[in-house]
Each structure stands twice: as structure tokens, then as C-alpha cells.
Amino acid sequence: MSGATTDPRMTSRAAPKRGIELSWSDPRLRAIFWQIVIIGGIAGIIWYLVFNTMRNLEVRRIATGFGFLDNLAGIPIGEHLIDYDPAVHTYARAIWVGVLNTMKVSVVGIVLSTILGTLIGIARLSKNWLLARLAAIYVETIRDIPVLLQLFFWYAIVQALPAPRQALRPIEGVILSNRGIKLPLLEWQPAHSWALAAFVLGWIGTASWARMARRRQEATGIRPAVWPAGLALMLGFPLLVWAALGAPFMLEMPVLRGFNFVGGMTVTPEYGALTIGLVIYTAAYTAEIVRSGILAVPTGQWEAAGALGLHPWSVMRLIVLPQALRVIIPPMTSTYLSLAKNSSLAVAIGYQDVVSITGTILNQTGQAVEGIAVIMAVYLTISLSISLFMNWYNARIALVER
């Protein structure tokens, strides 16, 4: 037995294989090959388009590049969030004004459409027959009318308001006319800046306290109340800072002088019509998303909460909506992206957003490729920012298996 020899063929078969042998029958090799082919094809198409465009521009002696952004703009812009003078500032400044105008519509529209759509979505599930039917009629009607027609409708409504001398004054300081909506404006002082900073610190403190309360609840089953700390930090602390710095509070009221109003804050007809139209249109889709998310929560959750004697509103706020968010958030991302992109329709009613301003620059300079590239880059940045935030929030509220 001890003198037995080992068959070399057995040894070779038992020895482990070294390295990776690839052949055309290997799906990994074919996958790598086709990926290289596709990437090479896309790169070739891009190179051809760029080369052909540059050659055609050179033949037609059309200047290229972004050097025109340093030239004086000379474009009057009636609505701007930052200082702008067409005789002093450049095209780059004008485009930045347009970007901020677009952001103003998008951010305000997303917030207001979320609030309105959530309320309408809950109303559609109401046991009140009239309320549920009215919400259903709103959703079905608004979704079937093109958004551009709705913008024209609201712009016509705003333009139909009386002239400044016959303006409507529903309450003191609020004036409605065909020049827009005039509102009182707070005269900003350093005390207000410090109060705002105190509010931000209070919000951070409240979030930290809520996180600590959640951890204590997981450990002991008892959750400390968060709202008293939040009320003290986010309301009491800023008010204390504001009062300690003299409690300044002065409102600049709009006053009629000549044929128009001066002073106060102005909501222009173009911005008002655009925001109202986008909010009402987007809220119809938001309502359906919220309704479907609520219906996705098992009815046993309602029954169990009712058995504990909880108020229906408390059940909706504390039990149903937090679970429905996991269904609501993904489609809401697309709705927010649509609202941001629909804001480009502002050019139809004369609101000077990034599309309108860049289009004017394009007509003055002839830099068509660069102008379109700027518009595409702006909307791509806005869309990616919304997607990243919503994906982060969706991951944050996702259920985690322990």
C-alpha cells in the first residue's frame, strides 16, 4: 500500500485551473465587446456632429465660443432678484437673472402644489360625498386641459383686473390691479437677519432633539415630547433675539402715485399667472399620487388605530401618511421635474425666465449653439438637483431590515 504510485493523469485533473480562459462563446466576452462597440459608436456620432457643426459655422463665418457672455447685455429685465442694470451688466449677469427667475417659479410651485395636491388627494377619500365629488371633478378637469391653455387663461384673468386707480383692495395693504398684486414689504434690518439665524439654529436643535427622542423610544418604548422643544427653539428663541435687538417692525406700504403704485412688494401679472397655472395643474397630478399612496396602506392600519380611539386626523398624520410616503415619493419626483420643465412655457406669457432671456441674447448675438447649450445645462442642473434630493429623501424613509 505504501509503495503505490500516483497516476499523473489523476493529478492533472485534480489540479486547480489558473487564470481566466475567455472565448467568443463566453457571455462575458460578448458583453464587453458589445459595450465597446456601443460606446465607440456613440463617441463617433458625437464627434461627427461636433465636427460638422463647427465646420458649418466656420463656413458661414459665425463666431463660436462663450466670449460673448462678457459683453454688455442691454436687455431690460423688469423682474430680477439681484441687482441688474442693462447698461452696466453683461450677458452672463442677465442669464443668471433668468436662472434665478426660473428657480423662483420652480421652488414656489413645488411647495404650493405639494400642499394643494395633498389636501385635494385627501379630500377625494373623504366620506363627505360633496367634498369627494368636487375634488374628483377638479382632478379630472384640470388634467385634461393643456397647461399652456391654463397659463393663457390665468394671464387673461390677471390682465382683466381694473387699472391702478380703480384697483381692488380686499384688505389693508393688499392691492389687486392689472399691474399685478401689491403687498406690504417688511423693511429688513440687522435684527431680522439675527432672528433668521436664530430660527435656523432652532431648527437644527429641534431636529437633533427629535432624533434623540426617536432613539429613546426605540430603547425604552417612551418617546419624549418634541413639540415643546420645537416651539421654544424655532419660535421662542428667534423672538427673544429679535426683541433683544429692539424688535424693529416697519412695513413699507404700497402707495398710488400717478398711474402706478410705488413701494411695497410686487407680484407681477406674468409671475402670478405662471405660478398659479403651474400650481393648479401640477396639484391635480399630485392629488392622484397622494390618493394612491394612501390607498396602498392596508385598511387594517385604520382599523387598529380606530380601535385605540385615535382621531381620524391623527391616524392620517401619524400612521397612514408616513407609510404612504414610501409609495408617494418616487412618482412625485417625476411630477416635480415636470413642473420645473413646464416653467419654460413662461415665454408664452412674457415672464422673463432663463429661456426668454437666453432667447433674446441668441437673437442679438447669433450664438445659437451656445445659447441652447446654456438652456440645456440649466434645466439639466435643476432636474438633477431635484432627483438627487428626492432620491436621498426616499432612501432616508425607506424601511430597513434589521
Q: What is the pLDDT of residues 35-94, one digit of tens each?
A: 999 999 999 998 888 888 778 777 766 667 778 888 888 888 888 888 998 888 999 999
- The pLDDT assigned to 1 comes to 45
* Residues 349-365, mean pLDDT to the nearest whole number: 90
Count Cβ atoms below 10 Å from residue 329 Cβ, excluding itself.
Answer: 19
Task: Select the more confidently predicted residue: 33 or 282.
Answer: 282
**pLDDT attached to residue 324:** 86
Residue 170 pLDDT? 87
How far is Cα 134 from Cα 186, in angstroms, rounded to an integer?
Answer: 38
| Residue 206 DSSP one-character state | H
* Interacting residues of 262 by C-beta distance below 8 A, sequence separation 6+: 254, 255
Region 220-237: mean pLDDT is 87
Among 109, 96, 98, 94, residue whose Cα is nearest residue 340: 109
What is the sign, positive or negative, of the torsion defined by CA atoms of 141, 147, 151, 156? negative
Give the pLDDT mean for 28-32. Answer: 81
Helix-, strand-, coil-residue percentages of the chain, each rounded to 5: 70, 5, 25
Q: Spell out the residues 6+ positions from residue 382 whose beta carbon is closer than 8 angstroms to its own.
A: 102, 103, 106, 340
- Bridge partners of 171, per DSSP, are 174
Q: Tell me the average pLDDT across 345-349.
A: 91
Mean pLDDT taken over the chain? 86
Whether 304 shows a pLDDT value over 90: the answer reads no
The domain made up of 91-181+268-397 is a member of CATH 1.10.3720.10: yes
- pLDDT at residue 22 in the model: 57
Output the pLDDT for position 2: 47
- CA distances (Å), 44 to each of 30, 49, 55, 123, 143, in order? 21, 9, 16, 54, 42
Percentage of the chain modeled with pLDDT above 70: 92
Grid coordinates in use for 180?
A: 399685478
State mean pLDDT over 242-264: 84
What pLDDT was estimated at residue 171?
85
| E strand spans, 137-194 | 168-171, 174-177, 180-183, 185-186
In terms of Cβ atoms closer than 10 Å to its own Cβ (0-12, 13-18, 19+), residue 209 is middle
3-state secondary structure of 182: strand
Domain segments of the chain as ranges: 91-181+268-397, 188-249
Partners of 278 in the β-ladder: none
pLDDT at 9 over 70: no
Q: How long is the chain?
A: 402
pLDDT at 25 over 80: no
| pLDDT of 10 strictly over 80 | no
pLDDT at 379 over 60: yes
Per DSSP, the residues of 309-352 read: T--HHHHIIIIIHHHHHHHHHHHHHHHHHHHHHHGGGGGGGT--
- Cα–Cα distance, 312 to 331 (Å, whole number): 26
Is the pLDDT confidence value at 300 over 60? yes
Q: Decide: helix, strand or coil at residue 362.
A: helix
Q: Which residue has the higher pLDDT, 16 or 138?
A: 138
Q: Which has more pLDDT, 168 or 64?
A: 168
Which strands form 180-183's sheet, in the order they lie side by side? 168-171, 174-177, 180-183, 265-267
State the Cα angle at 110 between 319 and 148, rounded to 5°: 130
Predicted TM-score (pTM) of this structure? 0.79
User: Does the pLDDT of residue 302 top 90, yes or no?
Assistant: no
Q: At 20, is the pLDDT very low, low, confident or very high (cuts 50, 70, 90)? A: low
For residue range 278-296, list pLDDT tens digits in order. 999 999 999 999 999 988 8
